[in-house]
Amino acid sequence: MSAAGSRTAWLVTGARGQLGRDLLDHLSRRDGDVVTAVGRAEVDLTDEASVRGAVRGWVASAAADRLVLVNAAAYTAVDAAETDEGTALIVNGHAPGWLAEEVAGHGRLVHVSTDYVFDGTATEPYPVDAPVAPRSAYGRTKAAGEAAVAAVDADASVVRTAWVHSRHGGNFVATMTSLEGQRETVSVVDDQVGSPTWSWDLAGGLVALGAATRAVPPLLHYTDEGQVSWHGLAQAVFEELGADPARVLPTTSADFVRPAPRPAWSVLDGSTWDAAGLLARRGWRTALAEAMQAGPRG
């Protein structure tokens, strides 16, 4: 719900993606607020004029007490970025800066980033001030986007997340759900560890961040709580389906070589988020169970 007597105008980029759709669901529950949803058809993130024009038009037409822009759009084809880093850099690196510049002085920007900005060699959760050292084109371009936002004097927060799954769209949980019915066994790497994050939870956190009327930190980590390997996550999916988790066999990253290196460690320290007094995070296993009970969406 919006604060009594106040009205917030929201602009959501990447509105047709798995996170964007959950953002719109959350925002639809905020009485009195007005939401503008844009995707590739409305805004070309590789075109600076398109990006700036869309934000300027929204700012000029929004009749509200507060403006919040949530950037859920990104070039997320991690492997394709290895040979298309130029395009990924525009979308992930330059466009966030354009958005920050255009919203500066008018409202708040909430920009979504990733664990891929780190090298994945840690053994403890990455704090927000850990050195950025991406090992992939995707990670480099997302790190560039963080820097572009930080360089603008704006009310802006970058939120890093990891291992996002959703009731809609392609993601690891959806893939494992499908494979359970197709194969007797599946092999999944057990040497990559992270914090599975339901996009519904992440979307709720981003909305809470955008709606906060007080000052908020410029850099935050949001994931569901806890950690597990991809193998352990796949076993949890099988358990939720009533299937034998022993059908999920452990393997190593060396057996699944991909064009882009995957972080071996993707656990993010969410203490700064928790200290900010925003939406409370919950355990990844609880969130997974709810997500799978809710079922897929069209």
| Residues tagged active-site | 138
CB neighbours of 218 closer than 8 A, spacing ≥ 6? 150, 156, 157, 158
- Per the CB < 8 A criterion, the answer to whether 159 and 220 are in contact is yes
- Per the CB < 8 A criterion, the answer to whether 154 and 96 are in contact is no
List Cα–Cα distances, 56 to 7, 39, 132, in angstroms. 19, 16, 32
Radius of gyration, CA atoms only, the chain: 19
CB neighbours of 178 closer than 8 A, spacing ≥ 6? none
H/E run at residue 233: helix 230-240
The per-residue DSSP string of 268-296 comes to B--HHHHHTT-SPP-BHHHHHHHHHHH--
